[in-house]
């Protein structure tokens, strides 16, 4: 199997891909839209994309891909612990670090450590945590990068500080995109998006009420702009169950007429 991920090697995307399919051929791509495009075009069989982080919340880019840009379905989810480290050129001391590179999300997840230990350091955003290591190692021993231990190993960096993320319980949820629908397992999650033809009081409540009456647990609800009209939104719900389960199918059949558009992103085994 060819499995696309947000690269380069050494990112959390690669780690999630390796956990999902250890024996796959791994193909790095520069963005989440590129990962989806690789699967749609046949360059890859499936693709791994980040969708939610404990600290930063949902990944808007991935939600917009699912809403607006692809007909691929979610095949599985992976919950990956996030462990971040300060990587430096070998021999660099803490007192020499003047610049710290990382992906913007990783910088935000290590804010407390940076503010306490390197309050005067200049923070620079990179395209990925692995690129951050490359940028830091290219300097004359005055820079660090917030990255994975694997990125440090691959690039020849040294771990100056380990486990520097603000939350010890920080995790990122990844989803695997592909074609077809996974069969029910009895321990599934379904993700949907929907809009309303017209805004009126109780529209959203009427949808949620159908899930409540069926005893189906909604585990997540949020909204994204439609990108068509200001003030109009797409609502997204994750709930327990598979769309092939009779109670879920019945609820979706009752909900669909209440919506302008209803899109099922997929039903897949819960991590």
Catalytic residues: 172, 174
Core vs surface per residue 234-251: b (16+ CB within 10 A) or e: bbbbbbbbbbebeebeeb
CB atoms inside a 10 Å sphere around CB 37: 18
What single string gives the DSSP state of each residue in 59-96?
-HHHHHIIIII---EEEEEEEEE---EEEE-TT--GGG
Q: Kindly state the tokens that stand for 1.
A: 């199997």
CB atoms inside a 10 Å sphere around CB 70: 16
């Amino acid at each position: 199997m060819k499995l696309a991920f947000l690269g380069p090697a050494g990112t959390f995307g690669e780690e999630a891909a390796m956990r999902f399919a250890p024996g796959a051929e791994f193909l790095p791509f520069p963005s989440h839209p590129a990962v989806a495009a690789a699967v749609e075009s046949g360059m890859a069989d499936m693709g791994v994309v980040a969708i939610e982080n404990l600290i930063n919340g949902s990944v808007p880019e991935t939600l917009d891909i699912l809403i607006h840009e692809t007909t691929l379905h979610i095949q599985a989810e992976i919950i990956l612990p996030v462990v971040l480290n300060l990587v430096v050129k070998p021999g660099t001391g803490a007192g020499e670090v003047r610049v710290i590179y990382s992906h913007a999300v990783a910088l935000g997840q290590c804010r407390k450590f940076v503010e306490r230990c390197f309050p005067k350091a200049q923070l620079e955003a990179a395209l990925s945590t692995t690129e951050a290591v490359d940028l830091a190692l290219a300097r004359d021993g005055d820079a660090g990068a917030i990255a994975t231990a694997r990125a440090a190993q691959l690039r020849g960096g040294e771990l100056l500080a380990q486990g520097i993320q603000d939350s010890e319980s920080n995790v990122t949820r990844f989803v695997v995109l592909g074609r077809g629908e996974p069969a029910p397992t009895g321990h599934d999650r379904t993700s949907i998006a929907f809009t309303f033809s017209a805004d009126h009081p109780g529209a959203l409540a009427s949808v949620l009420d159908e899930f409540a009456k069926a005893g189906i647990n909604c585990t997540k609800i949020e909204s994204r702009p439609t990108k068509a009209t200001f003030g109009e939104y797409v609502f997204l719900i994750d709930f327990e169950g598979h769309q092939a389960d009779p109670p879920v199918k019945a609820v979706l059949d009752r909900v669909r007429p209440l919506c302008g558009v209803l899109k099922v992103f997929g039903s897949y085994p819960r991590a």
